Structure 1
Amino acid sequence: MASSLPEVALGGPQSNCTFHFLSRLDRYKTEKPYFFSGVLDKNQEARRSNLEYEIHNDITVVDLRGQEKLLSLGGHGFELLQHKPVVDLSAPSEEEMNKYLEDLAATVKDHLKVEAVLAYSFRFRREQSSRDNRDTESPIGTYSNQDTPILVPHTDQTREGGLRRARRHMNEQEIEKYLDGNWRIRIVNCWRPICGTADERPLAMCDFYSIDENDLQPADRASREYVGEIYYAHYNPMQKWYWISDQSPEEVLLFKNFDSKPRGEVPFMLHSAFVNSANLNQVQRRESLEAALIVISKD
Structure 2
Amino acid sequence: MRVAIRNGRHAAGGFDLDRDGFALREAPSAVRNFYDEAEVEDVYYRELEALLKRETGARRVLIFDHTIRIDDGARSRELGKREPVRRAHVDYTEKSGPERVRQLAGAEADDLLSGRFAEVNVWRPITGPVNRAPLAVAEAGSLAPDDLIPTDLVYDDRVGEIYETAHNPAHRWVWFPDMSVDEVLFLKSYDSATDGRSRFTPHTAFDDPATPAGAPARESIEVRAFLFFGD
**TM-score range, shorter-chain basis?**
over 0.9
The answer (yes or no) to whether the contact 2:20–2:141 under 8 Å persists in 1 is no
Relative CO higher for 1 or 2, CA cutoff 8 Å, sep ≥ 6?
A: 2
Question: What residue number does 2:89 align with?
Answer: 154
The answer (yes or no) to whether the contact 1:200–1:282 under 8 Å persists in 2 is no
- 1:298 is paired with a residue whose SS is coil
Question: What residue number does 2:60 align with?
Answer: 116
- Higher CA-based Rg: 1
Q: Compared with structure 1, are the counterparts of its residues 184 and 282 closer, same or farther at alpha carbon in structure 2 (3 Å cutoff)?
A: farther
Q: Does 1:164 align with 2:107?
A: no
- 2:197 is paired with a residue whose SS is coil
Q: Does 1:125 align with 2:97?
A: no
Q: Compared with structure 1, are the counterparts of its residues 145 and 69 closer, same or farther at alpha carbon in structure 2 (3 Å cutoff)?
A: farther
* Unpaired stretches in structure 2, ≥5 consecutive residues: none
The answer (yes or no) to whether the contact 2:70–2:76 under 8 Å persists in 1 is no
Q: Compared with structure 1, are the counterparts of its residues 238 and 282 closer, same or farther at alpha carbon in structure 2 (3 Å cutoff)?
A: farther
Q: What is the aligned counterpart of 1:269 among 198, 201, 207?
A: 201
Distance in 2 separating the partners of 1:125 and 1:108: 22
The answer (yes or no) to whether the contact 1:68–1:79 under 8 Å persists in 2 is no
**Percent of paired sites with the same residue:** 30
- 1:225 is paired with a residue whose SS is coil
Over the residues paired in the alignment, what is the CA RMSD in angstroms? 1.7
Distance in 2 separating the partners of 1:111 and 1:209: 21
The one-letter amino acid paired with 2:109 is I
Distance in 1 separating the partners of 2:90 and 2:140: 11
| TM superposition outliers: structure 1 runs of 4+ over 3 Å | 66-69
Question: What residue number does 2:137 align with?
Answer: 205
- 1:276 is paired with a residue whose SS is coil
Question: What residue number does 1:218 align with?
Answer: 150
Question: What residue number does 2:45 align with?
Answer: 101
Question: What residue number does 1:86 align with?
Answer: 30
Q: Does 1:72 align with 2:16?
A: yes
TM-score, normalisation: structure 1: 0.72
Q: What is the aligned counterpart of 2:3 among 50, 53, 59?
A: 59
Q: Compared with structure 1, are the counterparts of its residues 148 and 264 closer, same or farther at alpha carbon in structure 2 (3 Å cutoff)?
A: same
Q: What is the aligned counterpart of 1:175 among 98, 104, 109?
A: 109
Deviation larger for 223-232 or 82-91: 82-91
Q: Compared with structure 1, are the counterparts of its residues 225 and 68 closer, same or farther at alpha carbon in structure 2 (3 Å cutoff)?
A: farther
